[in-house]
Amino acid sequence: MNSLTIKNFLIFVIFLSLISLGLEAQSGQRSSVPVQGRSASDKAPKKSKKVKLNGPVSANKAKKKQEANDKKLKNDYQDFVKSNQKRSIQIQTPEVQTRMKQNLKNANSSYKAKKKNSAARTKKAGKKYK
């Protein structure tokens, strides 16, 4: 009986070795790209340069001048609003001045909180639907 188990064990070992040899024969080292798909050189294709078309010099100059003028007008308007706000506070009585200043502070703080909340909400939505 002991010789029967040894024979079975030897047959099992031989069987496993034959299977492993067969598997090794099939798993040869192949490249990921088929031979037909390989190019003569392994270099990547050259990227073509994007041509930047400039308009006439006078048009570019006029655009820059207009942008500078718009920026100046915007800054002037902001300065006018600030000076007008200060003047409207200065012409009031002291009690009204303190109340107006406090109202301005409250409005600014509520605006900041609203803006912060809106930014956080849109950030979450942006991540959700990305």
The pLDDT of residue 32 = 59
∠ CA 106-109-112, nearest 5°, is 150
The pLDDT of residue 49 = 82
Kindly list the domain boundaries of the chain, sorted by start residue: 65-128
What is the Cα–Cα distance from 74 to 82, expressed in whole angstroms?
Answer: 13
> Would you say 116 and 124 are in contact if contact means Cβ atoms under 8 Å apart?
no
> Would you say 66 and 72 are in contact if contact means Cβ atoms under 8 Å apart?
no
Which residues lie closer than 8 Å to 90 by C-beta, 6 or more apart? 97
CA 34, distance to chain mean position in Å, is 36
What confidence tens digit (pLDDT) does each residue in 31-90 have? 555 555 555 556 666 778 888 777 888 999 999 999 999 999 999 999 999 999 999 999
